[in-house]
């Protein structure tokens, strides 16, 4: 569970405790099975595994409806992963509108599955539906940020995301600290910051070293992207640590002072 090996006692029981401040999706693997489990703060869940198939997994306690639903998403995940494996080059050779349409259609498979059964949908907690929808958006929208790079790699054609594309990719949920532990939050958010920083660097007619220009851009972008102070501190510290490691302390002093001041 969550990359930790959990020992099963002689009577077949196990226990796992995780301190969380917001909703999380944890990956569970058992035998040849893998599936996600949803938890929210203060929740408790009993898992009964009576065989080596997902049909043999049953829940009791909190969030039963949400987690039973997640068991049914695994076939969708396998199907979409297979589609990407077979068509990765071809979909990135498409023009921008076609590519976004393809990714949006794949995202829609998950979203339609979530709301297909209205009675079941109403049994889910609001925390789950919002977190799962946000996780889906993070997962697929980060692929859109890869498009210019991958399209160049597979076609030799240099493109930039259009303004409508950027508006579609941008997700306000990155400014919610309770979502920081969602599986795709950090990947999406780092890619979003990097993309915005790269745009600013390319527009800057400076002869300053690229790494310094990027850190300048990050210093300007983070207060614009995040209103939450915790997230501002978190993301600036992440970029600052990487900058110190890659460029040394003397080249990092102005940014350290900026971090301390802000």
Q: Which residues contact 117 (CB under 8 A, 6 or more apart)?
A: none
- Residue 184's CB is within 10 A of a number of other CB atoms, namely 19
Least confident of 86-90, 169-173, 204-208, 238-242: 204-208
pTM strictly above 0.85: yes
CA-to-CA distance for 154 and 134, rounded, in angstroms? 30
CA-to-CA distance for 96 and 102, rounded, in angstroms? 10
What's the mean pLDDT in 106-129?
90
For residue 202, what are its two tokens?
Answer: 């390319």
What's the mean pLDDT in 152-181?
95
Q: Tokens 């002072």 belong to which residue?
A: 257
Q: Which long-range contacts does 61-66 make (Cβ < 8 Å, 24+ apart)? A: 63/38, 63/39, 63/125, 63/128, 65/120, 65/123, 65/124, 65/125, 66/38, 66/124, 66/125, 66/128, 66/132
Which pLDDT does position 206 carry in this prediction? Answer: 72
3-state secondary structure of 49: strand
């Amino acid at each position: 569970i969550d990359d930790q090996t959990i020992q099963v006692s002689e009577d077949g029981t196990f226990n796992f405790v995780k301190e969380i401040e917001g909703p999380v999706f944890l990956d569970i693997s058992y035998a040849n099975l893998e599936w996600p489990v949803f938890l929210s703060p203060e929740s408790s869940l009993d898992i009964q595994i009576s065989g080596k198939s997902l049909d043999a997994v049953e829940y009791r306690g909190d969030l039963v409806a949400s987690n039973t639903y997640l068991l049914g998403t695994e076939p969708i995940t396998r199907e979409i992963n297979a589609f990407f494996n077979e068509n990765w080059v071809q979909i990135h050779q498409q023009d921008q509108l076609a590519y976004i349409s393809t990714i949006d259609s794949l995202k829609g498979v998950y979203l339609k599955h979530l709301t297909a059964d209205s009675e079941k949908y109403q049994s889910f907690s609001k925390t789950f539906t919002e977190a799962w929808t946000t996780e889906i958006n993070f997962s697929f929208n980060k692929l859109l940020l890869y498009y210019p790079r991958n399209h160049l790699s597979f076609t030799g054609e240099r493109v930039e995301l259009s303004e409508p594309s950027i508006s579609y990719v941008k997700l306000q949920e990155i400014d919610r600290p309770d979502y920081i532990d969602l599986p795709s939050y950090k990947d999406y958010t780092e890619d979003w910051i990097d993309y915005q920083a790269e745009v600013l660097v390319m527009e800057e007619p400076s002869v300053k070293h690229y790494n310094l220009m990027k850190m300048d851009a990050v210093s300007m972008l983070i207060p614009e992207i995040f209103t939450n102070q915790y997230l501002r501190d978190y993301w600036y510290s992440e970029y600052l640590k990487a900058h110190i490691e890659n460029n040394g302390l003397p080249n990092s002093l102005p940014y350290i002072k900026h971090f301390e001041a802000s």
